[in-house]
Structure 1
Amino acid sequence: MIIRVGTRESKLAMLQTEYVIGRMKEVCDAHFSIVKIKTAGDIESPSSLQKIGSGIFEKEIDEALLRGEVDLAVHSMKDVPTSIPEGLILAAIPQRLSPNDVFVSRDYDNVASLPKGGFVGTSSPRRAAQIRSLRGDLQIASLRGNIDTRLRRLKEGKFHGIVLAEAALIRMGAMDGRRERLPIDLVPTSPGQGALAVIIRKGDAAMLALASKINYADAMEEVIAERAFLRRLGCGCSSPVGCTAATTGSKLMISCGLYSIDGARFKLFKFEFPRGDAERYGAEAAEMALSDCAVASFWRRAL
């Protein structure tokens, strides 16, 4: 039996797919074939990506899955829209890596040590707002491209520092150099960050049985809560919002933050729920955040 796995062509996507295949090989005797698929996110110019909308790194792969050209797809969970296409399901989330962001620099150990008016590279509205919430004097400079490109531009001296997902650096083996792990309590990250999504066709019992063997229940519960939070807000990756859940014993902890575009106004929250109904509690966390008077003064203008 040969299982065809759809993924992007980028180095990080390949490493993520190889990781998933490695876990599946531990629980089955099947052979695997990686099918590389170009997506809009790979083809379009960096300046136009934000205009395209959500799903720019998944749509073509998901369409190939629906056509039966691949048997399953592997995505970065944080890139998957909150509404998965009809006919597909999220079958598994393998063990999750760090959901944290990290500040990386050639010359500075942390955000606090940056010079006044220093330049921080990111093209994420969330990260831009969060950096400004920490240091209002810092300037945000656009930074797009794959991890290698971003690190190269940092080494070239284009920025005083940049912000990246720690999980991406771990998978790329690029943890050298000066860096600061930004705490979730202060810098909640994108829903699904650090997690991988295994997507299959709805009704494919064989693929579901296989995928379920590599699913981590804790990671699935965390991600479901985070995505429910984002879905209730009615926004996506272009909005200045962070939400990171963590399962601890019998508790589901949800750390989240809502920001104005310029980061000048924001509100951080931490909610504690019992485990067992992540979808409900993620939505409840969003409701409580939206009902906060301080949030009401700026959030709608942030969207």
Structure 2
Amino acid sequence: MSTVIRLGTRRSALAQAQSGHVAAALEEISGRPVQLVPIVSEGDTNRASLSEIGGQGVFATRLREALLRGECDLLVHSLKDLPTAQPTGLVIAATPKRVDARDVVITRDGTGLAELPAGSRVGTGAPRRIAQVRRRNPEVEVVDIRGNVDSRLERVASGDLDAVILAAAGLSRLGADSPLRREDLELADWPTAPGQGALAVETTESAPDDLRGWLAELDDEATRIAVTAERAVLSGLDAGCQAPMAAHAVQTDAGLHLQAAVFSPDGGRRLDIDVTEILDEGYIRRNGSGNGADAADGADPMHAARVFGMSAAHRLLEQGAADLLPRE
């Protein structure tokens, strides 16, 4: 590895902004300059609906190819866009502390999503959000949209759309400033995609020890445990990252709290699980469920979190989740 650390990133303003945050932190830790290497992904060039082109790696595949070819030394991904299967030769070396995981509704006048009048046009391209919008307000028209944050905000400002659904994390990372009004959707009622609000810093398994060590300093264990459980739900359901499902975990005084949901595309059905587990000395103890304990290997909290998430997925499947999910 040369003196300059090369960080591969998508070309979008949001991707470059979040990569820039990681680059600045890595420069401080390593004392070396970090250069952003823009890479075009299929998700950036294919303007079809995400539900049509599929969610499995549409934003990540080209970047990972570049990393394996040596065009860069590491990558920064939005974790919610990553498939759960880890490619051979690559490793998630750090999961920095997560920011706001909520979705937000952006409107011109501050009208809440549930109060928008019949026929209002609400823009979003994610199947999960489409289902949630239809469930919250069946009278609105959902418009399947693509594009960066600025273009989506402009469609509301111009009157083309009455509202858009965006990730709070993206707005904060971009520092987006707009006269439009914002409604925060609380996670208890509106859970979001596994890994939303979190980043994944990826490098090769053969990366130099000094780079791996610097990246380890960026890692936030509480975030990694939470997103490990969330992504295990996704993996256990055998669904892609554009499936109409949600999972959010957070560490509390009582243990690791996980809420997960699967939706029918029309929003008419929602299957839920809401459970807390205690990760203690390498074991998961379900809090108050009366179902005993599952042993983890050694004292690895990541394994425990993965078992927890897979168990939640199994319980959703027992409720009939497979009937609501597209297979990828």
TM range (shorter): over 0.9
Counterpart mapping for 1:162-177 below 5 A: 162-174=164-176, 176=178, 177=180
Aligned partner of 1:223 in structure 2 is 227
Kindly indicate whether the alpha-carbon contact (under 8 Å) linking 1:41 and 1:57 is maintained by their aligned counterparts in 2.
yes
Kindly indicate whether the alpha-carbon contact (under 8 Å) linking 2:263 and 2:324 is maintained by their aligned counterparts in 1.
no
Among 174, 184, 204, the alignment partner of 1:201 is: 204
Kindly indicate whether the alpha-carbon contact (under 8 Å) linking 1:108 and 1:160 is maintained by their aligned counterparts in 2.
no
Distance apart, 1:117 and its partner CA: 3.1
Among 230, 240, 246, the alignment partner of 1:236 is: 240
Does the residue aligned with 1:223 lie in a helix, a strand or coil? Answer: helix
Kindly indicate whether the alpha-carbon contact (under 8 Å) linking 2:237 and 2:322 is maintained by their aligned counterparts in 1.
no
**More off after superposition, 121-130 vs 168-177:** 168-177
Distance apart, 1:41 and its partner CA: 1.1
Instruction: Name the amino acid aligned to 1:121.
Output: G
Establish whether residue 279 from structure 1 lines up as the match of residue 306 from structure 2. Answer: yes
Kindly indicate whether the alpha-carbon contact (under 8 Å) linking 1:108 and 1:161 is maintained by their aligned counterparts in 2.
no
| Structure 1 residue ranges (4+ consecutive) displaced by more than 4 angstroms after TM superposition | none
Q: When the two structures are superposed, what TM-score results if normalisation uses the length of structure 1?
A: 0.94
Kindly indicate whether the alpha-carbon contact (under 8 Å) linking 1:257 and 1:267 is maintained by their aligned counterparts in 2.
yes
**More off after superposition, 79-88 vs 106-115:** 106-115
Consecutive unaligned residues in structure 2, runs of 5 or more: 280-300
Establish whether residue 82 from structure 1 lines up as the match of residue 109 from structure 2. Answer: no
Kindly indicate whether the alpha-carbon contact (under 8 Å) linking 1:102 and 1:165 is maintained by their aligned counterparts in 2.
yes
Establish whether residue 30 from structure 1 lines up as the match of residue 32 from structure 2. Answer: yes
- Between the aligned partners of 1:114 and 1:108, the Cα distance in structure 2 is 10
Kindly indicate whether the alpha-carbon contact (under 8 Å) linking 2:110 and 2:183 is maintained by their aligned counterparts in 1.
no
Counterpart mapping for 1:70-219 below 5 A: 70-174=72-176, 176=178, 177-204=180-207, 205-219=209-223
- Between the aligned partners of 1:48 and 1:245, the Cα distance in structure 2 is 25
Kindly indicate whether the alpha-carbon contact (under 8 Å) linking 2:67 and 2:74 is maintained by their aligned counterparts in 1.
yes
Instruction: Name the amino acid aligned to 2:318.
Output: S
Instruction: Name the amino acid aligned to 1:241.
Output: M
Kindly indicate whether the alpha-carbon contact (under 8 Å) linking 2:226 and 2:251 is maintained by their aligned counterparts in 1.
yes
- Between the aligned partners of 1:250 and 1:92, the Cα distance in structure 2 is 26
Among 293, 300, 303, the alignment partner of 2:323 is: 300
**More off after superposition, 15-24 vs 132-141:** 132-141
Aligned partner of 2:41 in structure 1 is 39
Instruction: Name the amino acid aligned to 1:127.
Output: R
Consecutive unaligned residues in structure 1, runs of 5 or more: none
Kindly indicate whether the alpha-carbon contact (under 8 Å) linking 2:117 and 2:139 is maintained by their aligned counterparts in 1.
no
Distance apart, 1:60 and its partner CA: 1.2
Distance apart, 1:206 and its partner CA: 2.5
Instruction: Name the amino acid aligned to 1:238.
Output: Q
| Cα displacement string for residues 14-52 of structure 1 (whole angstroms, at most 9, x for unaligned residues) | 111110011112222111111111111112223477325
| Cα displacement string for residues 123-168 of structure 1 (whole angstroms, at most 9, x for unaligned residues) | 1110010111112222211111111111111111122211000000
- Between the aligned partners of 2:273 and 2:184, the Cα distance in structure 1 is 20
Kindly indicate whether the alpha-carbon contact (under 8 Å) linking 2:51 and 2:242 is maintained by their aligned counterparts in 1.
no
Number of equivalences? 299
Kindly indicate whether the alpha-carbon contact (under 8 Å) linking 2:97 and 2:220 is maintained by their aligned counterparts in 1.
yes
Aligned partner of 2:263 in structure 1 is 259
| Cα displacement string for residues 227-261 of structure 1 (whole angstroms, at most 9, x for unaligned residues) | 11000000012311011111123511111111111
Kindly indicate whether the alpha-carbon contact (under 8 Å) linking 1:102 and 1:164 is maintained by their aligned counterparts in 2.
yes
Kindly indicate whether the alpha-carbon contact (under 8 Å) linking 1:186 and 1:268 is maintained by their aligned counterparts in 2.
no
- Between the aligned partners of 1:257 and 1:223, the Cα distance in structure 2 is 15
**More off after superposition, 264-273 vs 192-201:** 264-273
Aligned partner of 2:287 in structure 1 is none
Aligned partner of 1:68 in structure 2 is 70
Establish whether residue 3 from structure 1 lines up as the match of residue 5 from structure 2. Answer: yes
Does the residue aligned with 1:21 lie in a helix, a strand or coil? Answer: helix
| Cα displacement string for residues 191-227 of structure 1 (whole angstroms, at most 9, x for unaligned residues) | 1110111001013223221110011111111111111
**More off after superposition, 246-255 vs 30-39:** 246-255
Identity of aligned residues (%): 37
